[in-house]
């Protein structure tokens, strides 16, 4: 819920559901939605025996030792009347004061910079050494329960009050209410106190109070019908644009970023915000229509920023009255700031419209595009090479060890050079810590003496990706407009990388690509044009040949059962899947002859919804489309 009307609609749904019981007196609870990490605590005979993160709602990490270090979590329940077995649920969080102190301690020794209290609390709770967790002074609010041998009390409110009697901290802002007006009034009361609480909250949660009514209304796809979160509007703050930098992305897009005077928004220090593209800076959207009342953004401007969804910072307006007299319109560069190649705005052949993004034409000769392409190649949706993240890609690229994707697969042959690069980075990090702390190390070993045992694990992880699935390999190539779904369509259509290359080259050489490239559902002129550009570029030939000398993508084999119950159906997956990744679910459905769509429409036959499903689930319900959970999906296709 984002508006008062959404709350009224929630209550009305509840009253309609229970309409057959005209005399029913429905009550609700309202409490702050703590922005932390959810945890579950199992007590047996009053003793804390196990703790875990809530994970995806069904499976979490066992962090019992770390949770025992939190003083708000009792090791033995106090008082009496607690069930023999109960799973207490709550939120682990870090206060602003503790977060600030941790940042100061870390900065003093040249340690890492922490982003925000929520992420820091989550990282602190997952430490291998419980003493590190203990040093972070984490807090815990109890607000619910899972499995229990008996209910703590007949209502939600009274049950949570029992938690306090048993030794837990509970929110002092939890209340019981009877009407929309009371709930909304409490929401605005909490919103007014938000900045003074000393910890992050991002809304208010409403629940039906009577446990019997909760059971009667039930759940849908793992989420309770009897509860709803009323989110706060994004917090705003005012700051100054210090400069505008240009970053170059994997496909050559010149992405402007505003560097701001640091300002705290919702407990997070914001210093950078994306400006998207040239038109956005000018005060225009992608259709040339005014935004921000048509006001452009200039260096020196005072701007109002907010964190969209309390996550992504964005500029919402420019304070013209505060604009410096010498501020001039920003001149967007027409050449790449990295390689100096021309940066152009392409024209859409169909519409004749100019792209709002300006791109470097240097492609593989541009270092920025090269390193971003390498990062993409090893990313999760692509080859997913464990241990070869952005930090190591940058290190090996700057050391000259990898320039193209093929070089990744020869790193084992250059172990001494890899070791030296890692050692030099570690030495530099140590020198920085020394400079910050004023302390000098003793008995420092030379870089040649270092033994990096993790290297064999890295090399093995690389070798394990020498025969990737064809769709992953196509996606890993980083061809413009080829996402994971399109890569799967191409893999299913052409079956082998050799066939795709053959068609790609013939399409690139043809005067009219449509005379060569087959008609494929889901593949339009934009994708065909991107394939034509890629396979028609001679510089890509050498790169691809070298890569295929090291990597051998598996042929894409589709075994569609003639009697598959989902063959020919359009399916949408939404929410969190607990037994497989989204990519695995898509691949499974496609191999059974189904089409997997990214959005719900009247043409959708089935929606598979997991915990956290939102707008897609809502639309499916409105369109009366069949909705099932993951277990039902697996049973339907015979994979349970």
Q: List pLDDT tens digits, range 541-569.
A: 888 999 999 999 999 876 655 567 888 88
pLDDT confidence of residue 583: 67
Architecture of the domain delimited by 234-361? Beta Barrel (2.40)
Q: Rounded CA gap, 588 and 638, in Å?
A: 11
Structure confidence by residue, pLDDT tens digits, 437-494:
666 655 555 544 455 667 999 999 999 999 999 999 999 999 988 988 899 889 988 9
Q: CA triplet 211, 217, 222: central angle to 5 degrees?
A: 95
CATH number for the segment(s) 367-463 = 1.10.150
> Stretch 215-229: mean pLDDT, rounded?
82
Q: Rounded CA gap, 540 and 479, in Å?
A: 11
pLDDT confidence of residue 59: 44
8 A C-beta contact, residue 216 and residue 334: no
Confidence class for position 624, pLDDT limits 50, 70, 90 = confident
Beta pairing, strands 175-177 & 595-597: unpaired
Structure confidence by residue, pLDDT tens digits, 102-120:
989 988 877 787 878 888 9
pLDDT confidence of residue 312: 80
Catalytic residue among 22, 33, 350, 616: 33
% of the chain exceeding 70 in pLDDT: 92
pLDDT confidence of residue 286: 84
DSSP structure class, residue 269: E
Residue 378: is its pLDDT beyond 80? Answer: yes
Query: Do the domains 367-463 and 4-231 match in fold?
Result: no
CATH superfamily of 470-548: 5' to 3' exonuclease, C-terminal subdomain (1.10.150.20)
Q: Rounded CA gap, 88 and 70, in Å?
A: 15
Q: In whole angstroms, how far apart are CA 106 and each of 68, 103, 122, 492?
A: 24, 5, 17, 50
Confidence class for position 58, pLDDT limits 50, 70, 90 = very low
> Stretch 128-148: mean pLDDT, rounded?
93
Core vs surface per residue 351-387: b (16+ CB within 10 A) or e: eeeebbbbbbebbeebbbbbbbbbbbbbbebbbbbee
CATH number for the segment(s) 4-231 = 3.30.470.30
Tokens of 280: 């956005």
pLDDT confidence of residue 222: 64
Correct CATH for 570-636 of 3.40.50.2000, 3.40.30.10, 3.40.50.10190, 3.40.50.12160? 3.40.50.10190
pLDDT confidence of residue 563: 63
8 A C-beta contact, residue 101 and residue 80: no
Q: Rounded CA gap, 451 and 447, in Å?
A: 9
Mean pLDDT of the chain: 88
Contacts of residue 629, Cβ cutoff 8 Å, sequence gap at least 6? 221, 222, 608, 609, 610
Please compute Rg for the chain using Cα positions: 28
Domain ranges of the chain: 4-231, 234-361, 367-463, 470-548, 570-636
8 A C-beta contact, residue 561 and residue 592: yes
- Give the closest residue to 208 by CA, choosing from 227, 224, 221, 182: 227
To the query of whether residue 586 is one of the catalytic residues in this protein, the response is no
> Stretch 563-577: mean pLDDT, rounded?
84
pLDDT confidence of residue 559: 61
Structure confidence by residue, pLDDT tens digits, 493-551:
899 999 999 999 999 999 998 888 988 877 888 899 899 989 988 888 888 999 999 99
């Amino acid at each position: 819920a984002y508006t008062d009307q959404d709350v009224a609609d929630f209550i009305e749904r509840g009253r309609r559901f229970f309409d057959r019981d005209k005399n029913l007196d429905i009550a609700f609870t309202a409490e702050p939605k703590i922005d932390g990490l959810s945890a579950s605590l199992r007590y047996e005979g009053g003793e804390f025996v196990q703790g875990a993160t809530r994970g995806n709602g069904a499976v979490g990490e066992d962090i019992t030792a770390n949770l025992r270090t939190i003083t708000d979590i009792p090791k033995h329940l106090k008082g009496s009347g607690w069930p023999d077995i109960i799973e207490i649920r709550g939120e682990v969080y870090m206060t602003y004061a503790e977060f600030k102190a941790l940042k100061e301690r870390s900065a003093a020794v040249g340690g890492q910079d922490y982003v925000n209290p929520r992420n820091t609390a989550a990282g602190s709770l997952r430490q291998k050494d419980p003493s590190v967790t203990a040093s972070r002074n984490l807090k815990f609010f109890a607000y619910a329960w899972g499995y229990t041998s008996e209910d703590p009390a007949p209502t939600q409110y009274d049950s949570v009050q029992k938690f306090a009697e048993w030794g837990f901290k509970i929110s002092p802002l939890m209340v019981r209410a009877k009407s929309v007006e009371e709930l909304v009034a409490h929401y605005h009361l909490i919103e007014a106190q938000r900045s003074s609480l000393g910890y992050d909250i991002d809304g208010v949660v409403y629940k039906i109070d009577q446990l019997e009514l909760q059971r009667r209304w039930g759940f849908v796809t793992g989420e309770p019908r009897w509860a709803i979160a009323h989110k706060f509007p994004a917090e705003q703050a005012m700051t100054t644009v210090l400069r505008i930098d240009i970053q170059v992305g994997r496909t050559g897009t010149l992405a402007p970023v505003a560097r701001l005077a640091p300002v705290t928004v919702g407990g997070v220090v914001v210093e950078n915000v994306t400006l998207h593209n040239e038109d956005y800076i000018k005060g225009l959207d992608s259709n040339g229509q005014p935004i921000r009342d048509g006001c452009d953004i200039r260096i020196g401007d005072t701007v109002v920023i907010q964190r969209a969804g309390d996550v992504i910072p964005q500029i919402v307006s420019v304070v013209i009255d505060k604009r410096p007299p010498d501020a001039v319109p920003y001149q967007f560069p027409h050449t790449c700031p990295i390689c100096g190649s021309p940066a152009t705005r392409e024209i859409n052949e169909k519409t004749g419209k100019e792209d709002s993004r300006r791109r470097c034409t240097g492609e593989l000769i541009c270092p920025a595009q090269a390193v971003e392409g390498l990062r993409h190649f090893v990313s999760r949706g692509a080859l997913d090479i464990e241990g070869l993240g952005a930090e190591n890609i940058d290190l090996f690229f700057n050391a000259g060890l990898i320039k193209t994707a093929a070089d990744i697969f020869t790193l084992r042959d250059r172990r001494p050079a890899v070791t030296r690069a890692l050692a030099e980075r570690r030495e530099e990090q140590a020198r920085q810590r020394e400079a910050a702390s004023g302390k000098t190390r003793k008995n420092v070993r030379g870089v040649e003496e270092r033994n990096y045992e993790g290297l064999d694990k890295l090399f093995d992880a690389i070798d394990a990706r020498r025969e990737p699935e064809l769709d992953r390999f196509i996606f890993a190539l980083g061809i413009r407009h080829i996402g994971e779904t399109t890569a799967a369509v191409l893999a299913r259509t052409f079956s082998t990388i050799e066939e795709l290359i053959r068609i790609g080259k013939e399409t690139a050489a043809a005067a009219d690509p449509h005379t060569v490239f087959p008609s494929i559902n889901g593949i339009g002129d934009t994708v065909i044009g991107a394939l034509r550009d890629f396979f028609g570029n001679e510089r890509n030939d050498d790169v691809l040949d070298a890569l295929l000398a090291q990597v051998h993508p598996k042929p894409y084999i589709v075994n569609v059962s003639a009697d598959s119950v989902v063959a020919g159906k359009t399916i949408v997956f939404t929410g969190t899947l607990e037994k497989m990744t989204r990519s695995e679910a898509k691949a499974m459905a496609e191999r059974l002859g189904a089409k997997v769509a990214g959005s719900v429409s009247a043409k959708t036959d089935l929606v598979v919804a997991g915990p956290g499903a939102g707008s897609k689930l809502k639309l499916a319900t409105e369109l009366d489309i069949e909705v099932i959970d993951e277990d039902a999906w697996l049973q339907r296709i015979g994979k349970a």
